[in-house]
Amino acid sequence: MNIRGKVIPGSGRARTLGFPTLNIPQDDGSVTGIFAATVLITGRTYHAAVFADRERKILEAYLLDFDDEIEAEEITINLVKKIRDAQKFTDDTELQRAIAADVRAVREHFKP
């Protein structure tokens, strides 16, 4: 499933946890969970761990091995494989551990 959108600002929470994301709106909020994905940015494709948040109708993409800043640019997210369902966490440490595990699962998925 491909979803194209303009990058919008987030709350910065993922960045404080060590996983900065690019966020795009999800028009209908029909997709939810954590996904292995590819992200197309100005002709280049990157691997990513993506959180599809049904409640906020947003896709948050953490690009693997990417350090550049991107603002107000359109990107395309291709959701390749669902890693797990979304879940609530009681604290940031628990959330950080879950994100790290998700990133490992995404790396494993894209391993040659």
- If one counts every other C-beta atom within 10 angstroms of the C-beta of residue 98, the result is 14
**What's the pLDDT tens digit per position in 59-103?**
999 999 887 776 558 999 999 999 999 999 999 899 999 999 999
**What's the pLDDT tens digit per position in 15-57?**
888 888 999 998 887 899 999 999 999 888 999 999 999 888 9
Report the distance separating Cα 54 and Cα 85, nearest Å: 11
CATH class of the domain comprising 2-110: mainly beta
* In 2-76, alpha helices (H): 13-16
pTM score, two decimals? 0.90
What are the extents of the domains in the chain? Answer: 2-110
